[in-house]
C-alpha cells in the first residue's frame, strides 16, 4: 500500500517493559529498543516525568544508551503541564526516533503529560512516523487507554481492590501491570478483569518486555513471561457481592507467553499461523492501527 509523502514505511513499535530491565550487562531489552528505533544513529529522547528523582533516572539511562552506541540522546525534562506544551520540547519529540518513559509513578506521569500537545506529538510519532515508544514500570502501565492507578496486591482478588485512570492510549481495551510475577500481582489483575470484563489484563515480569509492532504482531523478550488474563466470556457474581469480598470467577482464560514467544498476523497472501481464537483476538486488538484522534 502506498504511504502518504509525510509518512515512513515503518509500522511503529511499542516496547512495554515490566520494570528492572538490565541496564548494566547485555541490556537485551534496551538494545532491542535501540534497534527498533533505528540503531546507533537513532535520536532517542528519555522522559523522566514519572519520577521525583529525574536527574538520577536520566543519568542511568544516559549511561545505558551511551554504552549501546547511541550518540544522539537527550533528556526531556517535564516538571509541569506548561513544559508539556512548550514548543522546544515538542520539537524534541517530533524529531525523535525513539521515545522512552522511565519508571516512577504513572499517576504523576499522566498528570503532567496527559492530554497535552506533547501527548499528541507522541501519538503522531508512533502512528505517522513509525517511531518506537518504550516504557518501563510506570512508563509501561501508562501506555494503555485504561491505566491501573492503584490497588492492593493480596492473595485473592477482591471487589473494589483496584482503581483505574485514563492512560496515554497507545493500546486500547487492555490494562497493563508490571513487576508481575515478582510482586505476585495475578490477584490484582484478576480484580481488574472481574470489575472490567471489557478489558484484557496484561502482566509483564521484570526484565521482560512485550514488543508490539502495529498492524503486525507481538514478541516477548527478556528473562520472564507475559501473562494475559481474558475474562470476556466469564461468569461472575461481582455485581452482587460486598466491597472487599472475593468474587466467583468462572471460565477466565489465561495465556502465558514466555520470553521468545512470537505471534504475527499474516500479511496479505501469507498462510495464517494456527492459534486459538482468543489469542488471535488479543493479537488483533493490541496490534491494530488506531486512527489518529
The proportion of the chain whose per-residue pLDDT surpasses 70, expressed as a percent, equals 95
28 flagged as catalytic:
no
Confidence of residue 7 (pLDDT cuts 50, 70, 90): very low
Catalytic choice (51, 137, 144, 187): 137
Catalytic choice (13, 21, 146, 206): 206
- Please list, in sequence order, all residues whose beta carbon lies within 8 angstroms of the beta carbon of residue 152, skipping any fewer than 6 positions away: 158, 161, 162, 188
pLDDT greater at residue 232 or residue 275: 232
What average pLDDT score do residues 179-202 get?
Answer: 95
Radius of gyration of the chain (CA): 19
35 flagged as catalytic:
no
Residue 291: the pLDDT is 46
Q: Which CATH class is domain 13-287?
A: alpha beta
Per-residue model confidence as pLDDT tens digits over 87-96: 999 999 999 9
Residue 1: the pLDDT is 29
Question: What DSSP character marks residue 106?
Answer: H
Helical pair 87-94 and 117-127, crossing angle rounded to 10 deg = 10
Contact 16, 205 (CB under 8 A): no
225 flagged as catalytic:
no
- Please list, in sequence order, all residues whose beta carbon lies within 8 angstroms of the beta carbon of residue 120, skipping any fewer than 6 positions away: none
Confidence of residue 6 (pLDDT cuts 50, 70, 90): very low
User: What beta strand segments (E) does the chain contain?
Assistant: 13-17, 43-47, 72-76, 98-101, 132-136, 146-151, 162-166, 174-177, 200-204, 208-213, 217-222, 225-230, 235-236, 249-250, 253-258, 262-264
d(CA 138, CA 48): 10
What average pLDDT score do residues 11-34 get?
Answer: 97
- Per-residue pLDDT for 272 more than 90? no
The mean of the pLDDT values for the chain is 92
Catalytic choice (144, 179, 191, 255): 179
- Per-residue pLDDT for 245 more than 80? yes
Residue 290: the pLDDT is 52
- Per-residue pLDDT for 119 more than 60? yes
The x, y and z cell numbers of residue 95, run together, are 524529531
d(CA 149, CA 246): 20
- Per-residue pLDDT for 9 more than 60? no
Confidence of residue 227 (pLDDT cuts 50, 70, 90): very high
Domain extents for the chain? 13-287
- Per-residue pLDDT for 3 more than 70? no
**For residue 165, what are the β-bridge partners?**
147
Amino acid at each position: 500500500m502506498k504511504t502518504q509523502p509525510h509518512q515512513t514505511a515503518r509500522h511503529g513499535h511499542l516496547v512495554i517493559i515490566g520494570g528492572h530491565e538490565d541496564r548494566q550487562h547485555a541490556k537485551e531489552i534496551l538494545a532491542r529498543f535501540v534497534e527498533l528505533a533505528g540503531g546507533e544513529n537513532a535520536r532517542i529522547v528519555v522522559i523522566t516525568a514519572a519520577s521525583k528523582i529525574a536527574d538520577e533516572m536520566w543519568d542511568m539511562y544516559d549511561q545505558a544508551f551511551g554504552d549501546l552506541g547511541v550518540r544522539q540522546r537527550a533528556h526531556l525534562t517535564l516538571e509541569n503541564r506548561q513544559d508539556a506544551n512548550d514548543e522546544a520540547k515538542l520539537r524534541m519529540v517530533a524529531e525523535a526516533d525513539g521515545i522512552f518513559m522511565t519508571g516512577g509513578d504513572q499517576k504523576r506521569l499522566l498528570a503532567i503529560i496527559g492530554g497535552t500537545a506533547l501527548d499528541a506529538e507522541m501519538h503522531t510519532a508512533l502512528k505517522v512516523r513509525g517511531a518506537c515508544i518504550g516504557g518501563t514500570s510506570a512508563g509501561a502501565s501508562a501506555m494503555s487507554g485504561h491505566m491501573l492507578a492503584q490497588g492492593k496486591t493480596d492473595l485473592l482478588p477482591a471487589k473494589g481492590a483496584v482503581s483505574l485512570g485514563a492512560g496515554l492510549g497507545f493500546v486500547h481495551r487492555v490494562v497493563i501491570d508490571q513487576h508481575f510475577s515478582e510482586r505476585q500481582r495475578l490477584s490484582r489483575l484478576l480484580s481488574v478483569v472481574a470489575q472490567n470484563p471489557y478489558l484484557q489484563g496484561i502482566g509483564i515480569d521484570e526484565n521482560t518486555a512485550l514488543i508490539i509492532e502495529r498492524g503486525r504482531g507481538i514478541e516477548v523478550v527478556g528473562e520472564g513471561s507475559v501473562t494475559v488474563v481474558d475474562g470476556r466470556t466469564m461468569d461472575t457474581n461481582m455485581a452482587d457481592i460486598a466491597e472487599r469480598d472475593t468474587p466467583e470467577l468462572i471460565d477466565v482464560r489465561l495465556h502465558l507467553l514466555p520470553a521468545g514467544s512470537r505471534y504475527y498476523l499474516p500479511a496479505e497472501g501469507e498462510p495464517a499461523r494456527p492459534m486459538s481464537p482468543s489469542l488471535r483476538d488479543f493479537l488483533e486488538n493490541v496490534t491494530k492501527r488506531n486512527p489518529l484522534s
